């Protein structure tokens, strides 16, 4: 939610034309491809650290890293069906 508010604050008072919006979208970085990449980006964000506090920025990635590890500890139904010939 905070990232949305930060983006809203950045754009407050700026009205872009149709062509300016297209140009801005071309320069917008893409989203992380997976949870681990998102965790790393989250940890590096000085803006989030400033608004959320260091305690939250330290704790949340640890929780999500455990979640990432648990997710990768198991084979998905798709992996069992497609990748493994039993």
In sign, the C-alpha dihedral spanning 48, 66, 30, 16 is: negative
Please tell me the distance from the alpha carbon of residue 3 to that of residue 63, in angstroms, as a whole number.
19
Q: Which of 53, 54, 76, 72 is nearest to 64 (CA)?
A: 72
pLDDT digits 0-9 by tens, 27-38:
667 888 999 999
pTM of this prediction?
Answer: 0.59
Compute the average pLDDT of residues 66-83. 88
pLDDT digits 0-9 by tens, 14-64:
555 656 665 655 566 788 899 999 999 888 888 888 888 888 888 999 999
User: Residue 77 has what pLDDT?
Assistant: 86
User: Residue 5 has what pLDDT?
Assistant: 57
User: Residue 47 has what pLDDT?
Assistant: 83
């Amino acid at each position: 939610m905070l990232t949305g508010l930060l983006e809203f604050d950045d754009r407050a008072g700026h009205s872009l034309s149709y062509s300016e919006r297209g140009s801005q979208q071309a320069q917008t970085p893409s989203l992380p491809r997976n949870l681990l990449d998102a965790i790393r980006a989250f940890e590096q964000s000085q803006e989030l650290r400033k608004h959320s506090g260091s305690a939250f920025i330290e704790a949340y990635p640890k929780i999500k890293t455990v979640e990432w590890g648990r997710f990768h500890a198991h084979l998905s139904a798709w992996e069992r069906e497609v990748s493994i010939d039993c």
